Structure 1
Amino acid sequence: MSPAELVVDTVTLSAGARRLVEEVSLRAGQGEVIGLVGPNGSGKSSLLRAVYRVLRPASGTVRVDGADAWTLPVRRLARTVAAVVQEAGADFDLTVREVVAMGRTPHKRLLDGDTGDDLRLIADALDTVDAAALADRPFDQLSGGERQRVLIARALAQQPALLVLDEPTNHLDIRHQLAVLAALRDLPATVLVALHDLNLAAYYCDRLYVLHEGRVTASGPPTEVLTPHLLAKVYGVQTEVTIHPRTNSPQVTFLPTT
């Protein structure tokens, strides 16, 4: 499956009388890695829920390859979009391999077993997140970081055209943070990822959307978006932003308050 194009068009999301996101527009071209950044409560997770069809927009549309995501048949959506969400750490009574194999379900008919291709994709996904050694372990006995890597592997095994991730580096040590984000860049998929770490977002994302109080405050390449002025406005902190001499990406240094 080819990478999908994602278009979020003036989406507003509500919880009762409270607006979570207001008239947000976003575009991810085929194969792009798009980062969502912003402080807690800015609307990042809510917007992602609208994309992977958990929170229905009060107005506006979410389109995947031109089709309204909210009108797609469930099976077609599951073959196209995979999500790794913050609250997905359920205590599955399954082994790690069985959890990752769940990613192949949208591509099968009822009661189909795993084919040779399925087994290869499951093994490749486990290798990608450095979890092959965990394959026979019970999922509910893993640490938080190990679980996170397994859930990412499940999404990779799904082979989506659009992969949506909400803080996928949570609970991961630095080595695995870098490995997972590097793997996302190499996927034959479009990626929409919410990140707290601005330096990781600057290095691994093609473009950033900055959310603040439910609206897009800025968008564009990291070099244009991550400025001291914007970070002071959105996060309320003082920073220095330089271009790293080896990576050529913005490097944000947070200055202590005095």
Structure 2
Amino acid sequence: MRFVVVSDIHANYEALEGILADVGNLEIDRYVSLGDLVGYYAEPQECIDRFRGLNGLCIQGNHDAVASGVEEPLDFNPLATDRIFWTRGQLRPESKKWLAELPTQGKLTEDIWAVHGSLRNRDEYLMSQMVIQANFFLMEKLQAPRTVLFGHTHRRAVYRLDGTIVSTLSEKRFRLREENRYLINPGGSGQPRDGEPGAPYLMIDDDRVELRRAPYDVEAAAAKVAKLPYGDILADRLRQGI
């Protein structure tokens, strides 16, 4: 089966459309969002409508939950807080309900699961060696899944467990091996933080994995958000990929 996986779109409609254009006419069995479809950028309702039209799997991120109103931005910085209250005002009631009811975990297959932060906690940042090892330990104790797809950090990453050794893979194309376990982050599709503009995403075709980056009209997305509070900061982040 072939999957396209995005994460942290954050209401960047141009980035989402850029990914879909990059996929082109390839037959996709399922589109997957690893959470934070909304927040920060200028077109939250449009992104929800577009993704829902794909009939994909959407995981709930922390921004999705707060935008829906079922949670409050108690640990958000001022910029994120301002943007999430603005986002609430842009969403239709049924879209807020949809966001509130999104799952925090999902299965692409029995061996490949999808989360926002980590398998342990929706809001956990899977970055430090200790957290990475703890998540691999949990995967082994559960005896499934062999691969967890995660977002939240906005940074592309591939971690592999081989026996007791955890390594970071730099390859953009690789195969999922049955003897290994994997933690894979496609990167922040709508707001990458790896210093490279564009829209990173992931394509999985059976056991073949490809980390891709779609070109899109960054200036159009920047121009839309620049008109809003904190917009200049968010526009510059898109241009710089930070």
Is TM > 0.5 for Structure 1 vs Structure 2?
no
Give the structure with higher Rg (CA).
Answer: 1
Normalising by structure 1, we get a TM-score of 0.31
